[in-house]
Structure 1
């Protein structure tokens, strides 16, 4: 009886599997819209449903893991992480922010242009993550509303990602699906002419409509970066330092914009004027304030020793590093840091201290301890272990902040440039170039292996693999052919330019309500099949899908960068609709006209 029921069910599924595939897809769309589960979970459920019903077999499921797109995307995540770890992006952005007080409007244009260019060659999601606190600093420096900058930042990074094949995961997925369907692979810069026109139209629309439609407001303190917290420390010029005899203004270690020289102690007196012109001398104590990342980066310099320690204390570059908060019961409250017994009892070094809304001082040894002060301490593993047992220190734990590895920045930049060059010249595929570059940056320690794997967005990769499996299931079920067959009668007499507009409109509407990567996987084989049935070139239609699946401006859920700034800026949903809807129409119309014009020649 049970076997008969199974046979009947199998026969029913086999006879109606094309419709069943569309039903599964429809359920997934509804789930994507309501967002009760993460997109990756919904996609995985869809793939498992195809597998459970027997529409997708194990060979079909495993075939998606041979697709080069997810591997390329993972490698590009690591390359992006290396650029962040080496301080490349931060250095460019900080230079622009430093100029903001002199020419604020030009600084904003430069920062947006820098984000645009960076997004063309690395994943735009980490670009936005890095830029959010920088934008907050820029808004403060220029006395502008940060809410007028965060949405444009996301839009600019989206348009930057459209410039090259590696700029966004969507482009790589569309290319991979198109190749699986028998199309010629896309070159890395093949879509650039269309993207340039789209970006010009988008930039013009933002410049005109932004002042009218973008909201006002400041960044909520909940979303402000801890990078804004300054620590006080001091650097001692070593006897054999190559800084001796050079003006402090010429030392690369002291140039970052988030590091400020407060004074120079020499022979018991403080020098507070013309600090950049002052020539470094052995034994100078340079009092500085810096954020956590810059503070940790200075630990690696051989020009200075950092912080204060007792007799036979460790160097600032000791093996263990922790943060600790001073408890209100600490017996040394009110005493100078240089006098606390802590330094004489343990082989530790205090390399920085910070206080809420106030910078301690006048220098590190003479800063008097207060309750809730945070100190950054380094030392041997044994000494740090004893700190955990101290009841007068709260929240003792390893810092999550990582120092920049600026000396390896040229390697990371050259690795990314090599990926672009090798792919552009068709010497090797993008996937091979990206994997080789990843091997180089790991071998040269531009980024540690643990941090490299942490920079890969697992949700994105699971979503892509699962949606590729759903795509295979739809194709094997005949759902794609069914959709194409239903569309052909309505479009068989349409001119090529009209097909481009229809495909773009369909894709962009779907992108605004579900994830862009899912749209790329689902729509691409449909438009390729449609082009085959109509006897037209599929390439312009696939390019239209590529752009429409990325150019998501009207909602905060259609693209990852929109979601990031939506949370960080505490926007309302309607804030995106007001500015994003007209921008979507303008960029879409320009893109479709450009595709139609260039393919008509």
Structure 2
């Protein structure tokens, strides 16, 4: 036992490197998620005595992961209040009138949004928009999706809050004694990368495939469910006599399919149609839009056996029609529970297509999903219905457009306070979170649900691994190996070396893991060689994020890879030259301006 203890004491640095090598192999093999590997790796350092308890828990005092979590919540509030959806509707409206100009506007908007928001929800939102733009412009969608994703990734390199990777590197650098990074400190270098990347995308677009994606890809890769529903114009409504085109409710998330009046359904030239009392507007809408329309009270919504049954009171549940349901093949209006209970069906969803021609006349099929509004007693009766599956309160929430200005002000305020050095970005983001919670822009459970816990645990675990490598002497050992090879290298060569080394690792491993691992090594190397660490840290920060050559290089790459039905080689063909061009531009800017 004493021999093992002595061995661990003598070869601490080497054992740390051995654990790191095992983690690297596990990352590459991908049999477990990066988060699991990082957590097990941190545990291994603790088991071998290379990381004590106090040091392990000290990583939770690092502000970077908490700032990342706060930014997730702020992004969630912009979604919850409908800000992101309204931006998408505006883009689609512009695309219908000026499709090619809309492409340029989407590019600029994507870059700006990604500079301040987590770019994963931005890309998720833009995927279906790019499909629509492809239809409007005639460009193959595969020539639009990868460039859109590249712009989003490059936009995240413009500010400190653009990606979680930037915040991780900045947090570790601050712990290592470096001067804190301001929110726009990396902007000049990120802007050089953006300009170079855009030029490269324009010149190399011929390398992108032009074949259409499969049917699976055309869904846009989103999990949004569209429902068929009906909006009924009340007798005392102030919309009577107004033209349909004058309404602002129709857009990306609410599409007008027809107007039913007196038993006749009109499908064409609807924008100029004046509304009458009792008109049924047949619409296609996602769940959030239906809940928003329900809460607005502007229309009656859905169908019921008794017209006095309101859709605006009580709860809303989701229920799936069982294959054994006796009403399969019958009209929805004739389903038995609609006549036995005081409920209102406010939407029906069917995989791959919508039923029709209208909500009441839709023929029921097994696996159809219904949104049903009603009181507590009716909801309990639905749960006891043996012909309904998975009856539960709907988790879909209405948008809160009246609070959109608060969510925008909170985000702008957080960025502004940090930009003018009033407070740090971490404190500013937490204050903004408090504001949107107290004003109910987003409910607490939704706020916590907006946080990607997998990302935060990965960051904390890799912070622990980096600290363990430092305590064990592994960092010093690696720096000692590398220093003789680089001691005569000019500072500009170090910038290029750090950038492209972090880029190469990030194409294979998690960006945040690479950032957490290489930051202390980079800083220690800079101190050993007597050069300024700041340009090297910025090179690491951008190099770990700006990865385009593989579908696993960045999390949004995988989204586009699936949505566009790309091949792995498609990413390599366009991504490698973009990696080189962007890397040369960023490193040159660091050498000239840093």
TM-score (norm 2): 0.92
Instruction: Report Cα offsets for 1:445-501 as digits up to 9, x if no partner.
Output: 222222221221111111111111111111111121222222222222222211211
Cα distance in 2 for partners of 1:339, 1:220 equals 34
- Residue 69 of structure 1 corresponds to 64
Deviations 1:70-129 (A, max 9, x none): 000011111111112222222212322333344333333333332222111011122222
Q: Superposed, which structure 2 residues align to 1:295-306 within 5 Å?
A: 295-306=290-301
Aligned runs of 1:252-291 on 2, under 5 Å? Answer: 252=248, 254-265=249-260, 275-280=270-275, 282-291=277-286
Cα pair distance change 1:566/1:341, threshold 3 Å: closer
Aligned-residue RMSD, C-alpha: 2.6
CA offsets, 1:40-85, max 9 Å, x none? 1111122111111112111111110100000000111111111122
2:567 maps to 1:572: yes
What SS class does the counterpart of residue 320 from structure 1 fall into? strand
Determine whether 1:243 maps to 2:243. Answer: no
1:513 maps to which of 488, 494, 508: 508
State the number of aligned residues: 592
Question: Helix, strand or coil: the match of 2:230?
Answer: strand
Q: Is the 8 A contact 2:228 2:355 kept in 1?
A: yes
Contact 2:300 2:310 in 1 (8 A): no
Q: Of 141, 151, 156, which residue of structure 1 is paired with 2:151?
A: 156
302-311 or 64-73, which deviates more: 302-311
For the residues of structure 2 that align with 1:268 and 1:220, how far apart are their CA atoms? 35
Task: Spell out, residue by residue over 1:356-409, the C-alpha distance to the aligned partner (whole angstroms, 9 max, x if none).
Answer: 666555544455556665443211232133234434445545545443322222
Per-residue CA deviation, residues 5-30 of structure 1 (Å, 9 max, x unaligned), is 2x222222222212222221111111
Unmatched tracts of structure 2, length 5 or more = none
Q: Is 2:327–2:335's contact at 8 Å kept on the other side of the alignment?
A: no
Decide whether aligned partners of structure 1 residues 121 and 282 sit closer, same or farther in structure 2, where only a CA change above 3 A counts. same
1:92 to 73, 84, 87: 87
Q: 2:186 aligns with which of 184, 187, 191?
A: 191
Rounded to whole Å, the distance in 1 between the matches of 2:328 and 2:37 is 56
- Aligned-partner Cα distance in 2 for 1:369–1:549: 51
SS in 2 for 1:514: coil
Question: Any residues of structure 2 matched to 1:248-397 within 5 Å, and which?
Answer: 248-252=244-248, 254-265=249-260, 275-280=270-275, 282-311=277-306, 312-325=308-321, 327=323, 330-331=326-327, 333-335=329-331, 337-338=332-333, 341-354=336-349, 360-367=355-362, 369=364, 374-393=369-388, 396-397=391-392
Moved more, 156-165 or 441-450: 441-450
Gap change, CA 1:489 and 1:400, over 3 Å in 2: same
Contact 2:231–2:300 under 8 Å retained in 1: yes
Stretches of structure 1 that go unaligned for 5 or more consecutive residues are: none
Is the partner of 1:428 in helix, strand or coil?
coil
Distance 2:124 2:389 in 1: 30
Q: What SS does the corresponding residue of 1:300 show, helix, strand or coil?
A: helix
Q: Structure 2 matches for 1:385-534, cutoff 5 A?
A: 385-393=380-388, 396-534=391-529
Q: Cα distance 1:372–1:123, how it changes in 2: closer, same or farther (>3 A)?
A: closer
Q: Secondary structure at the match of 1:233?
A: strand
Which residue of 560, 570, 584 corresponds with 1:589? 584
Q: Residue 18 of structure 1: which of 13, 17, 39 is its match?
A: 13
- Determine if contact 2:217/2:562 at 8 Å carries over to the other structure: no
| 2:205 is equivalent to residue 176 of structure 1 | no
The 3 A distance-change label for structure 1 pair 84 and 53 is same
Q: Distance in 2 between matches of 1:461 and 1:355?
A: 36
Rounded Cα–Cα distance in structure 2 between residues aligned with 1:16 and 1:230: 60
Question: Is 1:231 aligned to residue 224 of structure 2?
Answer: no
Closer, same or farther in 2 for the Cα pair 1:393/1:138, shift >3 Å? farther
The match for 1:117 among 105, 112, 126 is: 112
Is the Cα contact below 8 Å between 1:484 and 1:529 reproduced in 2?
Answer: yes
For the 8 Å contact 2:142–2:208, the answer to whether it is kept is no
- Looking at structure 2, the residues matched to 13 and 370 of structure 1 have their Cα atoms a distance apart, in angstroms, of 66
Q: 1:27 to 1:394 in 2, by over 3 A?
A: closer
Deviation of the 1:222 alpha carbon: 6.8
SS of residue matched to 1:164: coil
Residues 404 and 227 of structure 1, relative CA distance in 2, 3 Å threshold: farther
Task: Measure the CA separation in 1 of the matches of 2:425 and 2:568.
Answer: 37
Once residues 356 and 529 of structure 1 are traced to their aligned partners in structure 2, the CA distance between those partners, rounded to angstroms, is 55
Give, in whole Å, the separation in 2 of the partners of 1:37 and 1:331: 46
C-alpha contact 2:327 2:364 (8 A) present in aligned 1: no
Contact 1:322 1:384 in 2 (8 A): no
In 2, Cα distance between equivalents of 1:50 and 1:354: 50
CA distance in structure 1 between the aligned counterparts of 2:498 and 2:478, rounded to whole angstroms? 13
Number of the residue aligned with 1:205: 200
CA 1:514–1:340: 2 relative to 1, 3 Å: closer
How far the C-alpha of 1:214 sits from its partner, in A, is 3.7
Query: Structure 1 residues 393, 532: closer, same or farther in 2, change over 3 A?
Result: closer
Partners of 1:333 and 1:371 within 8 A in 2: no
Tell me, yes or no, if the aligned pair for 1:325 and 1:396 is still in contact at 8 Å.
no
CA distance in 1 between counterparts of 2:23 and 2:352 reads 49
Evaluate the alpha carbon distance shift between residue 179 and residue 453 of structure 1 in structure 2; reply closer, same or farther with a 3 A threshold.
Answer: same
Residue 230 of structure 1 and its aligned partner are, at CA, apart by 4.6
- Aligned partners of 2:224, 2:135: CA distance in 1, in Å? 12
Q: Given that residues 226 and 284 in structure 2 are in contact (C-alpha distance below 8 angstroms), is that contact kept between their aligned partners in structure 1? A: yes
Match of 2:32 in 1: 37
Name the residue aligned to 1:552.
547
